[in-house]
Amino acid sequence: MLYVKKPAVFLDRDGVLAEEKSYIASKKDFSIFSYASECIRMIHEKGYYAIVITNQSGIARGIFTEDALLEMNDFLMRQTKADAVYYCPHHPKGILEKYKKNCQCRKPGTGMFKMACERFPIDMQNSYMVGDRATDILAGQRMGIKTVLLESGYGTAGMEQDVTPDYRLKDLRDVIEIL
């Protein structure tokens, strides 16, 4: 498949496209926001890729399997028409050896952006990272892209770390306005 060069909106999953819950283990716990697919349609219409990048350490922690996540990814892509979903299954304190490591992909690491850039010709200079956690903002800043912190997840009051995003917005619908 041939792709054209264009910027991307990188989207965290939980708290951005779906309700934030701790360790969403299967499709039945997975509540995609009613506006998610319309927002992704608008992101596409405005000339961006819509690429999900999500930390899923529940896999390393043995809470759900990688297969269960793949099924959720498939569901998410069918529901929202996102271009791709990249996930990090790792955690340095995971209980499953296979996934227990200090990887480059877990946000605020930048490995998932790099994977996306290998597949899609992305104009990073004009791209955005949209998330609800400090790690999302830090990851975007490490990649040198614009960052948007949303209130639609855990809320930004109890963040692990102070961050200075380019934008602070309520939810994904507000992101469309700045593109």
Instruction: Check if 132 is active-site.
Output: no
**Is 24 or 105 the residue whose CB approaches Zn ion more closely?**
105
Please say whether the beta carbons of 153 and 38 come within 8 A. no
Proportion of the chain in helix, strand, coil states, percent, rounded to 5: 35, 20, 45
Of 44-52, 61-69, 102-110, 137-145, the segment contacting Zn ion by CB under 5 A is 102-110
Instruction: Check if 12 is active-site.
Output: yes
Report if residue 53 touches Zn ion, rule: CB under 5 A. Answer: no
Cα separation, 103 vs 110, whole angstroms: 10
**Nearest approach, Cβ of 92 to Zn ion (angstroms)?**
10
**Is 88 or 149 the residue whose CB approaches Zn ion more closely?**
88
Of 18-26, 59-67, 72-80, 98-106, the segment contacting Zn ion by CB under 5 A is 98-106
Cα separation, 50 vs 27, whole angstroms: 21
Catalytic residues: 12, 14
